[in-house]
Amino acid sequence: MDNELIAIPARRGKAAHLKRGQKVKVINTHGQQVVDTWAFCADDLKEFMSMEHSRTFMERIIPQVGDKLVTNKRRPILTLAEDTSPGIHDTLLAACDRYRYELLNAGGYHDNCTDNLVSAMKALGLAPPEIPSPLNLYMNIPLADGRNLTFEAPVSKPGDYVLFHAEMDCIVAFSACPQDIVPINGVDLNPTEAHFAIIA
Ligand SMILES: [Zn+2]
């Protein structure tokens, strides 16, 4: 049993190995932080959790407790086992990247989830073969009139968590999204740390 809390530092990423049958709890420590989440098959990083394939498999755009997230080979990789938040997450938006911030006129280099994924995997001696669309935990992107998107603050509370069950050996990676121009990490535009714990 290993319930040690691992920090996802503010504006940074962190990755870890997860064995089939283990669980990972992803905690919104301060309540208003989006956590971009990826999972790659341990045997073959070119197979990874895919939002496009998961939406087909789930027949919805936001996973609910009991839903399985699947890979680009349509194999279950994570099951959403618990969710103490109001259940608002996003599967539609790509990870933020340098180009997103250039378009937002951030000025100079801006931390971003894409680079955070690469850094987090590098710390394990790994490199992602591409940047899959992440499961954006706690991200609140309402779909209005069946077609229009808005960028809203999370509706989660401090300490809310989601718990995933690993369906295969995988690498999970998280980024505490550094978005501080659009209020997806709360209206005070102050990205914070989050935490995760691996449960044997
Ligand atoms: Zn981001």
Query: How far, in Å, from the CA of 125 to the mean position of ligand 1?
Result: 22
Residue 93 CA, ligand 1 centroid: distance in Å: 10
Mean pLDDT over each residue of the chain, to the nearest integer: 97
pLDDT of residue 159: 98
Region 96-111 average pLDDT: 96
The pTM for the full model equals 0.97
pLDDT at 1 over 60: no
Confidence (pLDDT) at 194: 98
46: how many CB neighbours lie within 10 A of its CB?
13
Query: What's the confidence (pLDDT) of residue 3?
Result: 73
Cα distances (Å, whole numbers) of residue 6 to 46, 59, 105, 135: 26, 32, 33, 19
Q: What angle do CA 54, 172, 90 make, to 5 degrees?
A: 40
The residues whose Cβ lies within 5 A of ligand 1, an ion, are: 96, 113, 177
When divided into structural domains, the chain yields a total of 1
Domain of 93 in residue numbering reads as 5-199
- For the chain, what percent of residues have pLDDT higher than 90? 98
40-93 per-position pLDDT tens digit: 999 999 999 999 999 999 999 999 999 999 999 999 999 999 999 999 999 999
Say how many Å lie between the CA of residue 133 and the centre of ligand 1.
11
| Count of C-beta atoms within a 10 Å radius of residue 147 | 6
List pLDDT tens digits, range 157-195: 999 999 999 999 999 999 999 999 999 999 999 999 999
Where residue 105 falls (left for φ over 0; alpha for ψ -120 to 50; beta otherwise) is left
Which amino acid, one-letter code, is at 14?
K
